[in-house]
Structure 1
């Protein structure tokens, strides 16, 4: 069976950058949306899916409008829930617990937050239900890293070596089957 293209686009810059935005529903800037629309303009896709948070859903709606395509909202594509840290600047969080979290987000999740393995489970479920056709997913940096781990086998500690600025576009070729696998085609930021 042949592969299908899966494009992962990180949402545009939020109005208040520099915060740990997990479940906090921060709006994207107009410029951030425009940059994402430009990134997606050259893609040949049949489906657009987005996280339900407005920094993704508004971005996806603008892309869909530019292409005269409907967008689908799927909350499983949300960012990791940072719990008590959500919406705060990393510089305001005690260094020791924040460092433990970055070193092992499964063993040391944020207070009242989500474990890395829980995010992997929901992203894995969303991936398993993807139709075998060219798809653009407008999502978050953590969700993109989860896809790289699940489809490409990149170990969690190495995932933070990927620079995923706002508006970054990652294209994969996904081979269906169990388990699904992928090959990175390109990263454009």
Structure 2
């Protein structure tokens, strides 16, 4: 089993937080710990940013598991938009980004295809035991694109609020098969 969890609520909600290393609230950590209750995992991985790492550490400490931080699980880098409210960004530029994030990435930001590539690389090295990955909304969407073959628009067809959990069953092999068995929001 693979579990993909979005971090808890950051201190400054409503911002594009890609590489910005904002802390998570205590309530956000508690929400992730509650969401993880009952999961049978042997490994925990997170992005290296504190809003994911702190949630993963709290979940792991309750189970005696030391998590591993992997920067490939970071959120999309929003470049000059990082740390901004979407309402403060030129609406036409933001719309172009949403329509085609490779053709119109944030200024000095990361391409969607680059996020897909690095998350795909991170997925390839996950341990072959039940694993919880505490990460970001964009990285979860990139993982679902890689694992399930979703196109970019399909990855936005569902909401991933803070502390959301996607549960996946994976049958490895040449023709890897993946089934979403749960979405908890």
Is the structural similarity TM-score above 0.5?
Answer: yes
TM-fit CA distance, 1:179: 5.7
TM-score by length of 1: 0.95
Segments of 5+ residues of structure 1 without an aligned counterpart are: none
The runs of at least 4 aligned residues of structure 1 exceeding 2 Å deviation read: 177-181
What TM-score does the superposition give when structure 2 sets the normalisation length?
Answer: 0.98
Deviation of 1:159 (Å): 1.3
Distance 1:121 1:143 in 2: 11
Whole-angstrom CA distance in 2 between matches of 1:106 and 1:157 = 13
Give the alignment of 1:13-162 within 5 angstroms.
Answer: 13-162=9-158
Contact kept, 8 Å, 2:43 with 2:127, in 1: the verdict is no
The alignment covers a number of residue pairs equal to: 185
Q: Distance in 1 between matches of 2:112 and 2:78?
A: 10
Q: Deviations over 1:79-113 (max 9, x none)?
A: 00000000000000000010000111111110000
Instruction: Please give the secondary structure, in 2, of the residue aligned with 1:67.
Output: coil
**8 Å Cα contact 1:11-1:167 kept in structure 2:** yes
- Shift of residue 157 of structure 1? 1.1
* Structure 2: 5+ residue stretches without partners: none
Task: Say if 1:48 and 1:60, in contact at 8 Å, map to a contact too.
Answer: yes
Aligned-pair Cα RMSD in Å: 0.9
Q: Distance in 2 between matches of 1:147 and 1:181?
A: 14
